[in-house]
Chains A and B, each alone.
Chain A
Amino acid sequence: MYEFEFTRPASVAEAVAALNAEEAQALGGGQTLIPTLKQRLAMPTTLVSLSGVAEMQGIGLQDDGQLVIGGATTHAEVASGAVGTYPALAALAGQIGDPAVRNRGTLGGSLANNDPAACYPAAALGSGATIVTNTREIPADEYFQGMFTTALEEGEIVVSVKFPVPEAANYQKFVQPASRFAMVGVFAARFADGVRVAVTGASEEGVFRWTDAEAALASSFTPDAISALSVDPDGMIGDIHGTKAYRAHLVNVMTRRAVAAAV
């Protein structure tokens, strides 16, 4: 990697200030950024580690029933800390990568990066979560804007994420054989006022909501309700691991399995 300065601010305010520097880059758990740096594909002048920011740590229930998770909370902490409050989210976090990844990678880092094959974007979008930054609150529906693209402005930090807790939910991941990222991951959640289905891994546009399935599942939250539905293979990812048609097929299979497991 190229040389860079390293700072570890203790508060969001300090972190925001540090990120004002030219070519400064926020560092979450580093599970994407560090390999990128090692390959010399990025050249920040300063890395601003968010791991020491106390306000960005931890998991707690709000009075309105929403689960709030700090942006610097690791996957492992969510996997164990959300079991009682939001088991589907805890299970998703517990399936990300391997133990080393889960003990370094963070919720905020994953959402800020918005890898099209990452798991957390499906949970955030599928839950209708709110991404809380140092300046504003962004609904998940507005936050994800395509592969590696989000509503975050330069220097804006994911301080926490507020997850409404559904009545029933489940995440099903079909892994890409080599990376074991999601080749198709589907998060299905049933709320009192409707159903949300978010799909990661499959689309060239990154995580998306499968609205046809949501409508069908709203009237009957059963796998059979969506048996006849399909997503358009156009716009799906086609690569050496699977064609567009295969990914489109898997979206249906994984959604049915998520619904079956959530019931």
Chain B
Amino acid sequence: MPKDIDAKESGIGAASKRREDIRFLSGTGNYTDDINLNGQAYVHFLRSDVAHGRITSIETAEAAAMPGVLRIFTGADFEGVGSIPCGWQVTDRFGEVMQEPAHPVLAQGKVRHVGDPIAAVVAETAEAARDAAEAIELDIEELPAVVDMKAALAEGAPKVHDDLTSNLCYDWGFVEDNKAAVNAAFEAAAHVTSLELVNNRLVANPMEPRVAVGDFNRATGDSTLYTTSQNPHVIRLLMGAFVLGIPEHKLRVVAPDVGGGFGSKIFHYAEEAFCTFAAKALNRAVKWTSSRSEAFMSDAHGRDHVTKIELALDADNNFTALRTDTLANMGAYLSTFAPSVPTWLHGTLMAGNYKTPLIYVNVKAVFTNTVPVDAYRGAGRPEATFQLERVIDKAALELGVDPIALRRQNFITEFPYATPVAVEYDTGDYVATMDKLEEIADIAGFAARRAESERAGKLRGLGVNCYIEACGIAPSNLVGQLGARAGLYESATVRVNATGGIVVMTGSHSHGQGHETSFPQVIASMIGIDENMVEIEHGDTNNAPMGMGTYGSRSLAVGGSAMVRATEKIIAKAKKIAAHLMEAADADIELKDGQFSVAGTDKSVAWGDVTLAAYVPHNYPLEEIEPGLEETAFYDPSNFTYPSGAYACEVEVDPETGKVSIARFAAADDFGNIVNPMIVDGQVHGGIGQGIGQALLEGCVYDENGQLLSASFMDYAMPRADDVPFYEVDHSCQTPCTHNPLGVKGCGEAGAIGSPPAVVNAVVNALRSAGKDVTHIDMPLSPARVWAAMQG
């Protein structure tokens, strides 16, 4: 057990074991694919095998006559149905709104990426549906595809969407008013470091593939969708209001146990709308379970930025200005939050941990004939961190200074700090996390370890970087100004039962984060009862109040705060009841360890006495307060939270093959206050694992015709247990968030944000130790790429 986990047994700060793991690990979870409804039919989607083409004919009659087939749907069946909506509208640097193409549930006339759904066969069995899909006679006139972003923006490039003026979604400048001053600072700089890099396209690949089951109740006219979602209320709103025209009171969305999301299950997908639509059309429940092959070509991908970054320094090595140009791939359609990722989740983080006074970020978002790209663990912040922390390392190389010292010299040290990219960091202590990192990573011992590696014929490298992220997304009024078409509060209903047990219905959604364990710790601490008296319910729009779901490391900071606010209301009311029971004044009632007492007396009543009185109000102030004990709160934060940290990676490189092994990895994070340190460790471990995956292994590759070359685990390399080391993780540096009641910051994405630059910095450092003039290698740092870099 990590040394910063104390021996506290329960409540806030305790390393309570994850109660949900018992069902997850014993095969008794209730995942969407476990849901089978009476009379259920199955859908198989016929998907495009070309990247770009015009559908010239589609003959379904023969296929529809095959055994077991109920109906075959094509784009024509969806002509009156809405487009899959985009939830964020970016305004470009000229004040124009982005180009926003339609995104049909089933292709209308054209296909725009390999995997684009063309037709859907609903049949009695999944096999029958697949058999019939193969019998559909389809003619597609193949059109030239655009895959490379620069080529997509070139004059005369084939257009992904004929009705748009070009493949440019938007040309965003941030902060546009800073541009001239930034350029002037570059003119005046003593040194400029420039770096061109790629942030590789990734596929999230949660263990559980996506599943949707649509159901329709003919008696009530109600629709239900069971789906693998991180935010069922958002799906209800987007699908109901924008696609299918079902009012929210006639539509229930349930996201039960979900086996990992990493962002890819935030978005509203065509398959969800199809199953809901088809269930009503056929008066049958309709189920779709994605195969892994389908997931590769239909789940939203992540990252895929091509960037040029320049850092200006003065003669004393102070950062004076930063300038970046990024091409961001949107894929063929705008996925739910895609436009926000390279802009507001990326540009606003470009200051990093440093007091660079002038920053200008340009992002051109581009349509290509590829799967849509959207948020993936970190979403914009890993892209910002990677380029910034790489260019700083390159600057240190060029200037011949220690990369840690160069960072320390430029750290922001006073808080709150208003960055030149619109956000204000409330708290942080970057010196403390770097000090802690140097200690736990044993930076001082690196030289000896390098010598040992060299004796074994290996090159050893050390890479260090910092990161800052904006989590707990965020104030609704702010994101509304930035283009969000949704609010970003969170909700909680705390329902106390007569005998004192509590059920909390939260709008947050747990798909691996451990909410069922950590949320009760908070409430139990506030009341002073055993955490096993508290149960969390989530994922069903019929139970929880309207909530925005889980992404952006927001669950505890926003959802937890809503829960705190609701519990505060509960406690206030319970105190009134206790005051009545003890014939004392409300103001004199204290609550400690589950006992209400009258200050200065030995009078007390237990939590359970008060909750029973609320529901059996025989002796109760009915004229003053209502019976019952149930409260709801909505919490809308006043700012993002700003977790930060410093990471160190040591690699060994086999100079003959280019194979990189991670020898050591240390992470010193500042997450503010910690509720469950074991869960935090797990989140950091998983994040670093995914970051190492991006840095060394994962790469989603298309050929020039838009065929997906990395279309299965045979060619898309996921990190495995033996690819990652045992981590040294510390989160004892804690500068609590100043604006949420728990003082928490969020920890879910930190590992994935903070680790890729450390790995790449370490490999460059290792190769340079052998005299190789290498300053950068694009991810993933496969053996072949590292070897090629060593050949010069």
A residues engaging B (CB < 8 A)? 39-40, 174, 177-179, 239-243, 246, 249-250, 253
Q: Which of B715-744 contact A (CB under 8 A)?
A: 715-718
The CA-CA distance from A179 to B718 in the complex, in Å, is 10
- The answer to whether A241 and B293 touch (CB under 8 A), given A177-B697, A250-B657, is no
Task: Please tell me if B787 contacts chain A, counting CB pairs below 8 Å.
Answer: yes
Asked if B782 CB lies within 8 Å of chain A CBs, one says yes
Which of the residues A240, A242, A243 comes within 8 Å of B699, measured between beta carbons?
A240
Cβ of B787 and Cβ of A246 under 8 Å apart? yes
Q: Does B701 contact A (CB under 8 A)?
A: yes
Among B148-156, B239-247, B369-377, B706-714, which stretch is in contact with chain A? B706-714
A240 touching B710 by the CB < 8 A rule? yes
Q: A39-B293, A250-B657, A253-B657 are in contact. Are A178 and B788 (CB under 8 A)?
A: no
The verdict on B401 contacting chain A, using a C-beta distance below 8 Å, is no
A256's nearest neighbour on chain B, judged by CB, is: B656
Flag whether B783 is at the interface (Cβ < 8 A). Answer: yes
Name 6 extra pairs, CB < 8 A, besides A178-B717, A242-B782: A40-B130, A40-B134, A177-B782, A178-B697, A178-B714, A253-B656
Taking a contact as CB atoms closer than 8 A, the residue among A39, A40, A239, A242 that contacts B783 in the complex is A242
A250, chain B: closest CB distance, angstroms: 6
Chain A residues with CB under 8 A of B718 = 178
B399 at the interface (CB under 8 A from A): no
A178 to B693, CA, bound (A): 11
Task: Given A241-B782, A253-B656, A253-B657, verify A246-B788 contact (CB < 8 Å).
Answer: yes
A174→B783 CA distance, assembly (Å): 10
B784: Cβ under 8 A from any A Cβ: yes
14 contacts between A and B (CB under 8 A): A178-B710, A178-B713, A178-B717, A178-B718, A179-B713, A239-B709, A240-B709, A240-B715, A243-B784, A243-B788, A246-B783, A246-B787, A249-B787, A253-B656
Chain A contacts of B709 at CB under 8 A? 239-240
Q: Is the CB of A178 within 8 A of B716?
A: yes
From the candidates A39, A174, A179, A241, name the one contacting B657 in the complex (CB within 8 A).
Answer: A174
Question: Which one of A178, A239, A249 has the highest number of Cβ atoms from chain B below 10 Å of its Cβ?
Answer: A178
* Shortest distance from the beta carbon of B482 to any chain A beta carbon, whole Å: 37
Among the listed B699, B710, B780, B784, which residue makes an inter-chain contact with A246, where contact means beta carbons less than 8 Å apart?
B784
User: Which B residues are in CB contact (< 8 Å) with A177?
Assistant: 696-697, 717, 780, 782-783
Contact of B714 among A40, A179, A246, A249 (CB under 8 A): A179
Q: Which residue of chain A has its CB nearest to the CB of B787?
A: A246
Quick check: B715 and A179 within 8 Å, CB to CB? yes
Cα–Cα distance between A243 and B718 once the two chains are bound (Å): 21
Q: CB-CB < 8 A to A239: which residues of B?
A: 709
Q: Mark B124-163, 1 if CB is under 8 A from A, else 0.
A: 0000001000100000000000000000000000000000
B782 CB contacts on chain A under 8 angstroms = 177, 241-242
A239→B701 CA distance, assembly (Å): 11
Contacts of A179 in B (CB 8 A): 713-715
Q: A253 vs B787: C-alpha distance in the bound complex, in angstroms? A: 12
Q: How far is the CA of A204 from the CA of B376 in the complex (A)?
A: 37
The 9 A-B pairs with the shortest beta carbon distances in the complex, nearest first, are A242-B784, A178-B717, A177-B717, A179-B714, A246-B784, A253-B656, A240-B701, A178-B715, A240-B709
Q: Which residues of A have CB within 8 Å of B717?
A: 177-178
Considering the chains assembled together, what is the distance between the CA atoms of A174 and B134 in angstroms? 39
Min C-beta distance of A3 to chain B, whole Å: 8
Q: Chain A residues near B783 (CB, 8 Å)? A: 174, 177, 242, 246
Counted as pairs of residues, one from A and one from B, with CB atoms less than 8 Å apart, the total is: 45
Chain A residues whose CB sits within 8 angstroms of the CB of B716 once the complex forms: 178
Contact of A241 with B784 in the complex, beta carbons under 8 Å: yes
Interchain CA distance A243-B696 in the complex, whole Å: 17
* Chain B: minimal CB distance from A231 (Å): 16
Task: Give A204 to B714 CA distance when docked, in angstroms.
Answer: 18
CA distance A40 to B782 in the complex (A): 32
User: Hey, which chain B residues are within 8 Å of A240, CB to CB?
Assistant: 699, 701, 709-710, 715
**In residues 275-327 of chain B, which contact A (Cβ within 8 Å)?**
293
Q: Please give me the residue from chain A that is nearest to B714 by CB atom.
A: A179
A250 contact set on B, CB distance < 8 A: 657
Alpha-carbon separation in the docked complex, A174 to B656 (Å): 12
Q: Are the CB atoms of A241 and B715 closer together than 8 Å?
A: yes
- Minimum C-beta distance from A178 to chain B (A): 4
| CA gap between A105 and B717 in the complex, in Å | 22
A40 to B44, CA, bound (A): 14
List, in ascending order, chain A residues with CB within 8 A of B714's CB: 178-179
Q: Which residue of A lies closest to B131 (CB)?
A: A2
Minimum Cβ distance to chain B for residue A42 (Å): 14
Give the contacts of B681-710 with A (CB-CB under 8 A).
696-697, 699, 701, 709-710
Q: Which residue of B lies closest to A177 (CB)?
A: B717
Residue of A nearest to B134 (CB): A40
- Give the docked Cα–Cα distance between A250 and B657 (Å): 7
Q: Name the distance in Å between B132's Cβ and chain A's nearest Cβ.
A: 13
For the complex, what is the distance from the CA of A145 to the CA of B657, rounded to whole Å?
29
Please give, as numbers and ranges, the residues of chain B lying within 8 Å of A39 by CB-CB distance.
293
Report the minimal beta-carbon distance from B107 to chain A, rounded to whole angstroms: 22
Q: How far is it, in angstroms, between the C-alpha of A250 and the C-alpha of B788 when the chains are bound? A: 12
Produce 1/0 per residue, B459-493, CB < 8 A to A. 00000000000000000000000000000000000
- CB A219 to nearest CB in B, in angstroms, measures 24
Give the residue name and chain of the A residue nearest to B703 (CB): A240
Q: How far is the CB of B224 from chain A (nearest CB, A)?
A: 31
Q: How far is the CA of A243 from the CA of B710 in the complex (A)?
A: 16
B699 closest partner in A (C-beta): A240
Nearest-CB residue, chain B, relative to A250: B657
The smallest beta-carbon distance between A83 and chain B, in angstroms, is 23
Q: How far is the CA of A39 from the CA of B293 in the complex (A)?
A: 9
Q: How far is the CB of B689 from chain A (nearest CB, A)?
A: 15
Interface set, chain B 640-693, CB cutoff 8 A to A: 656-657, 659
C-alpha gap A40/B656 in the complex (Å) = 41
The residue among B709, B713, B784 with the most chain A CB atoms within 10 A of its own CB is B784
Q: Which residue of B lies closest to A184 (CB)?
A: B657
Chain A residues with CB under 8 A of B659: 174
A240 to B708, CA, bound (A): 11
Return chain A residues, CB-CB under 8 Å to B130.
Answer: 40
Which residues of chain B are within 8 angstroms of A40 by Cβ–Cβ distance? 130, 134
- Which residues of chain B (760-792) have a CB below 8 Å from chain A? 780, 782-784, 787-788
Nearest neighbor of A38 in chain B, beta-carbon distance? B291
Residues on A with C-beta less than 8 A from B293 are 39
Bound Cα distance from A205 to B718, whole angstroms: 28
CB distance from B198 to the nearest CB of A (A): 14
A40 to B701, CA, bound (A): 24
Return the chain B residue nearest A238 by Cβ. B784
**Smallest CB-CB separation from B654: which chain A residue?**
A253
**Closest approach, in angstroms, between the C-beta of B719 and any C-beta of chain A?**
10
* A243 nearest CB across to chain B (Å): 6
Q: How far is the CA of A11 from the CA of B199 in the complex (A)?
A: 57
Residue of chain A at shortest CB distance from B784: A242
Specify which chain A residues have a CB less than 8 angstroms from the CB of B715 in the assembled complex: 178-179, 240-241
Q: How far is the CB of B253 from chain A (nearest CB, A)?
A: 31
Specify which chain A residues have a CB less than 8 angstroms from the CB of B787 in the assembled complex. Answer: 246, 249
**Chain A proximity of B172: nearest CB distance (Å):** 31
Determine the chain B residues whose CB is within 8 A of the CB of A249 once the complex forms. 787
Q: How far is the CB of B789 from chain A (nearest CB, A)?
A: 12
Q: How far is the CA of A35 from the CA of B675 in the complex (A)?
A: 45
